[in-house]
Amino acid sequence: MKLLHAADFHLDSPLSGLSPEKSAQRRRELREIPARLAKLAREEGVDLVLLPGDLFDGGRVYPETVRSLAQALEEMAVPVFIAPGNHDYFHAKSPYAAVSWPDNVHIFTQPDLQAVELPQLNCAVHGCAFTAPHREDDPLSGFTARLDGRLHLLCVHGEVGASGSYAPINPKSLENSEADYAALGHIHAAGSGKAGKTLWAYPGCPEGRGFDELGPKGALIVSLNEPSQLAVTSPDGPAVTHVKLGTVPAAAKFVPVCRRQYRVESVEAFSFTDALPQGESPDLVRFLLTGESRFAPDLAALIAQAAPRFFHVELRDQTTLPQDLWARAGEDSLTGLFLREMEARLEGAEESERDKLLLAARFGLAALEGGEDIRP
């Protein structure tokens, strides 16, 4: 069996930090995620699709967003399972309840695990829904799949090994579930693990939405072998018990589907121009300017230089004053007196204040020595 596992689309996110025009463009691009996944599902020839939650960023979504999602899911032409998460929890007025979804789409609506059997695939999908923004109980607590010779799949939104209000999942619950694969959502970085016989994974989000979601983003294509079985005939009659010996994932492949990446790159301030690409990059980049510099870099000028090369660019000044300047603190001069005062303030400063004090030291030196006061 081959399945597509994706989660955390967060459609119609506000995307703060971008200009209104680029925020609108990014929302349109995020709206294309389901269509890109439908194309991937057809190309890979998957048998079913598992989408464990947070497909919407909230309960209020644009009608065209819902329509495009429904159309893409229908075009997948295989069974699709949705387990609503904390952002798009199921309730009477949620898009999941207010819209007529294609016949191949099943939406879990209860907080307790429900099973949907797929005889044509010799498997059962077990899933549940957030029905409120928070959930403090373990959705897998007390669940164990039947040893009946079928593949048992979980589709759940929650946090493995965490405590809190977003469906914390105890690794022991995963182990006791005896499921063959647990398709999880909520964590925006791809990752996987194994608890007993159960392989579990997060695909991460298919598109980053900020500089806390860096690098390639996408979905998982997972192939599972049929479960090995041992038929044990009951001495009291013809009944046969299927004892599962375990399944082995044939492949778990991460497939990038994002149109743009968020990236953070460190670059020496003096070589910033050389670090810029020759052509245009589709990405959103934050440059951290490093190295020693007597004066604060002109961030506005550097951003103006870099902006045409990227969809979005930001700069952070992490340069420091040259060490030889601090050595002048011992001078019997106004500059030496100023540097001694700034050193004393820095020694007792909180971490949050150090950047401001270093910037003040630069401006002060510029004023004392006739340098240009270059503001970021």
334-366 as b/e, with b when 16 or more CB fall inside 10 Å? eeeebbeebeeeeeeeeeeeeeeebeebbebbb
Angle at 189 between CA 282 and CA 161, to 5 degrees: 170
Q: Quick one: which of 190, 188, 207, 187 has its CA closest to 261?
A: 207
Tell whether the model's pLDDT for residue 248 goes beyond 80.
no
Instruction: Name the helix (H) or strand (E) containing 199.
Output: strand 198-202
The larger pLDDT score, comparing residue 114 to residue 233, is at 114
Contact 328, 339 (CB under 8 A): yes
What pLDDT is stored for residue 170 in this prediction? Answer: 97
Mean pLDDT along residues 234-263: 65
- Quickly count: other Cβ atoms within 10 Å of residue 98's Cβ: 11
Mind listing the pLDDT tens digit for each residue in 187-234? 999 999 999 999 999 999 999 999 999 999 999 999 998 654 444 443
pTM score = 0.84
How far is Cα 101 from Cα 106, in angstroms, rounded to an integer? 8
Mean pLDDT along residues 228-256: 52
How far is Cα 298 from Cα 114, in angstroms, rounded to an integer? 59
Q: Take residue 42 and report the two structure tokens written for it.
A: 């057809």
Q: Which residues pair with 229 in a beta bridge?
A: 244
Mean pLDDT along residues 46-55: 98
Dihedral sign computed on CA atoms, order 305, 306, 309, 314: negative
Mean pLDDT along residues 124-133: 98
Any idea which of 93-97, 225-229, 286-290 has the lowest mean pLDDT? 225-229
Tell whether the model's pLDDT for residue 165 goes beyond 70.
yes
Rounded to a whole number of angstroms, the distance between the first and last alpha carbons of the chain is: 56
How far is Cα 107 from Cα 110, in angstroms, rounded to an integer? 9
How far is Cα 201 from Cα 177, in angstroms, rounded to an integer? 15
Tell whether the model's pLDDT for residue 156 goes beyond 50.
yes
Enumerate long-range contacts of 62-70, CB under 8 Å, 24 or more apart. Answer: 62/12, 64/31, 65/11, 65/12, 65/31, 66/95, 66/99, 68/31, 68/32, 68/34, 68/35, 69/11, 69/34, 70/99, 70/101, 70/102, 70/105
Task: Please name the residues in contact with 39: beta carbons below 8 A apart, sequence gap of 6 or more.
Answer: none
Helix axes 20-31, 33-44, angle to 10 degrees: 30
Mind listing the pLDDT tens digit for each residue in 99-111? 999 999 999 999 9
Confidence category of residue 59, pLDDT binned at 50, 70, 90: confident
Angle at 39 between CA 100 and CA 7, to 5 degrees: 65
Q: Which domains are assigned to the chain?
A: 2-256 (3.60.21.10), 262-368 (no CATH)
Angle at 134 between CA 164 and CA 37, to 5 degrees: 100
What pLDDT is stored for residue 226 in this prediction? Answer: 62
Which three-class secondary structure state does DSSP give residue 258?
coil
User: If you average pLDDT over every residue of the chain, what do you get?
Assistant: 89
What pLDDT is stored for residue 370 in this prediction? Answer: 66
Task: Return the amino acid letter for 54.
Answer: D
The larger pLDDT score, comparing residue 373 to residue 13, is at 13
Any idea which of 204-213, 242-251, 348-357 has the lowest mean pLDDT? 242-251
